[in-house]
Amino acid sequence: MRLVLTSLDGSLLDPQSNSYGSARQALAALERRSIPLVLYSLRTRAQLEYLCQQLRLEHPFICEDGSAIYVPEHYFPAGILDERWQHCSPYYVCALGLPYSCLRHILQQVRQDCHLDLIGFGDWTASELAAATGIPLEEAERVQQREYSEIFSYSGDPATLKAAFAQQEATLSQHQLRLRQLHLPSPSHWYLTGWKWMHSTPAASFWPGEEAVRLLLDCYQRHLGPVRALGIGCSLPDLAFLRWAERKVVLPSPIADSLWKEAVHLGGPEVQTQWQLARLPGPEGWNEVVLTWLEETDRGDE
């Protein structure tokens, strides 16, 4: 079977307008062929549900940077999903991250113990968040429906911040905290998640979200056989799903250099056969990549 894994911001969605209009042709082509389009994003479930409604998608999605997988109920036949999946209508959910309440508690402890000026999205009202980030109020409400991650502002020394969270991580069991600096709307914003530590995965090669992608692809494979996956991303965290794709495509963007450098590192001298740098950025490039891949794989399926 064929499948497409994609990030959103800077890939399927234009980073300025948040529009997928330039990718409509490829989206329609995937729909005609009944090829699953799996969204991978650090956005919340509420945000992805809203986008899936716009795109008329009824496929699984992976939210909050791989912290949870949501599979529509009745999507897979009985026996495909094991005990790790919990039924929460209208989905089966596999949660891999710490609950939001735990992350909020950790943030509060760091704030109190280390006397750091940390303001999380959970400290604001939706109106305050909309005013601070420039997004519509309705989108701010969806952004605040966080389940496994928190975004907070901090303008001090990054080393001090990381050391403070490392102290909190030492108290956790089977989890590790991950911090990432964001540019939303300024470099003073950070993204906090708590991941189950997968002992079978060496720390040097571990990327947050890899386990979520692996679990979902395994479900597809047990249901429909070998998976031929196209992965499309534009930033370093997209390695979480790109590493599992048969065809790995990087869309050019101001932040794509770090991803391409890591691709070269991972692929070595064979990188050109494993990875591809797209010609165009954003949804225009996404559209071209998907249509080209469909043409190639359509011929292969004949």
Phi-psi region of 55 (alpha: psi -120 to 50; beta: other; left: phi over 0): alpha
Residues 80 and 104 in one domain: no
Domain that holds residue 260: 2-96+209-301
Whether 204 is covered by a domain: the verdict is no
Do both 129 and 90 map to the same domain?
A: no
Q: Is the same domain home to 107 and 154?
A: yes
* Per-residue confidence in pLDDT tens, the chain, 302 aa: 999 999 999 999 998 899 999 999 999 999 999 999 999 999 999 999 999 999 999 999 999 999 999 999 999 999 999 999 999 999 999 999 999 999 999 999 999 999 999 999 999 999 999 998 889 999 999 999 999 999 999 999 999 999 999 999 999 887 889 999 887 767 689 999 998 755 444 443 456 789 999 999 999 999 999 999 999 999 888 998 998 999 999 999 887 888 888 777 766 555 656 789 999 999 999 999 999 999 999 976 54
Could you tell me if 50 and 83 lie in one domain?
yes
Any idea what the Cα angle at residue 122 is, between residues 120 and 124, rounded to 5°?
A: 85
- Phi-psi sector, 18: left (phi>0), alpha (psi -120 to 50), beta: left
Indicate the angle between helix axes 158-169 and 100-114, nearest 10 degrees: 120
Q: Identify whether residues 254 and 225 lie together within a single domain.
A: yes
188 and 118 co-located in one domain: yes
Q: Which residues fall within 8 angstroms of residue 199, CB to CB, at 6 or more apart? A: none
Query: How many domains are there within the chain?
Result: 2
Distance of CA 237 to the CA centre of its chain: 8
- Looking at the structure, do residues 28 and 169 belong to the same domain, yes or no? no
Same-domain pairing of 32 and 179: no
